[in-house]
Amino acid sequence: MWTEYHMARHEVRLTLAAIIERRGAGIAFPTRTLHIPNEVRLANESHGLTDGRSGQDEGRMGRAGRNGTRERAKPRRSAERAKEGYTAALKGVQMMRIAALLTVGIVLGLGIDRAPVHAQGRTVFDGVYSEAQAARGEAAYAAHCSSCHMPSLRGFFDGGMAASIIGEGFVNNWTAGTLLDLFAKIKDTMPYEAADTVSDADKLDIMTYVLKRNAFPAGDADLALDEGALSDVLVAPKGGLPPPASGQMVRALGCLSLGPNGTFVLTRSTAPKRIKNPLASRGAALKAAATEPLADANVQLLDVFPKPTNHVGHRVEAKGLLITEPSLGINVIAFTMVAENCGS
């Protein structure tokens, strides 16, 4: 819930930023870099995992006793308990990382040049559903959704009990996401507190009805209830997304290499691409990444936790906030090994 809360805050801020930009104004972001330690010491005596290295004050040889001599560190608990503690710490740090990175403006390249928009694969303007499917979705929406989101889809604005799912705000909120992201939201949370009362097939039809009401055109075939098909369709303006700006959520795929001074770099990387979902890819999306063509970019990875030394030479995916100055980089939120070799 904490992560979802901060993701929602981030989405609101992006929507406000888009409105401000369209009015010819701008936002003054703090030029501050957030540093999160690359290592977390779990040898903490208070948690029963002391191994003589629990803090800088204790040093490497244990703590100083009352008589000035060194006390021998307590024995380490079982490897199983240590592993459980490490896993809990890793999850905690990753959640703190997502919350912090989405809250702090890490914007270093405010003067980024806006290149012309370019297409990035299949989008919601490419006729990804059929009219018949949207008609089924309209009936299912009336039965299961209209009491909260209202027949107009305007929700709160028309006296409903849920957010509006039509218009500029809704589209901006989901821009750079995939239909899999949108469907997962509907599948897991709708109807509110009764998600298991509506079938996945009906929810898919409802989503196509929402697409139609938001003026995304129909095509000749139904949208398939398939993770791969849904993850292949991007919510984007006509012609595709503009290049990402500093501070936006992006994803890059490349070969992990060692950089200077113990840093990590994606070589032969794809250009960082704007995304909505900061969590590591899985399922069909992860499988597709194994054969996705690489490119020729070099992308520095900042604050990768834990250190991915064992993955040097592997094909990996990095998601996080884009940094453009002094060089192209990603402040990493999610890091995933895709394959044990970089491939072509």
Q: What share of the chain in percent tops pLDDT 70?
A: 65
Residue 74 has pLDDT above 50, yes or no: no
30 exposure class (CB count in 10 Å sphere: 0-12, 13-18, 19+)? exposed
Residues 6+ positions from 116 with CB-CB distance below 8 Å: none
Alpha-carbon separation of residue 163 from 102, 129, 166, 237 (angstroms)? 22, 24, 9, 22
For residue 129 the two structure tokens come to 């559903």
* pLDDT digit string, tens, across residues 187-243: 999 999 999 999 999 999 999 999 999 999 999 999 999 998 898 899 998 878 889
Distances (CA, A) of 143 to 102, 136, 191: 36, 11, 11
Name which of 236, 234, 245, 240 is nearest 272 in CA terms.
Answer: 245
Residue 120 confidence (pLDDT):
46
- Residue pair 234/276 in contact (Cβ under 8 Å)? The answer is no
Query: DSSP class of residue 37?
Result: -
Residue 120, C-beta contacts closer than 8 angstroms, at least 6 positions apart? 234, 236, 240, 241, 273
CA angle 146, 149, 151 (to 5 degrees): 45
The answer on pLDDT for 15 being more than 70 is no
Q: Which amino acid is at 20?
A: I
Q: What percent of the chain has pLDDT over 90?
A: 56
pTM of the model: 0.61
pLDDT band at residue 293 under the 50/70/90 scheme: very high
Q: What is the mean pLDDT of residues 34-56?
A: 40
- CATH value of 244-339 in 1.10.10, 2.40.50, 2.60.40, 3.30.70: 2.40.50
Q: What is the mean pLDDT of the chain?
A: 78
Q: How many Å apart are CA 327 and CA 108, to the nearest integer?
A: 10
- Give the residue extent of every domain in the chain: 120-231, 244-339
Q: Cis omega before residue 116 (within 30°)?
A: no
3-state secondary structure of 55: coil
pLDDT digits (tens, 9 = 90+) for 18-41: 666 555 666 655 444 444 444 433
- Which CATH number does 120-231 carry? 1.10.760.10
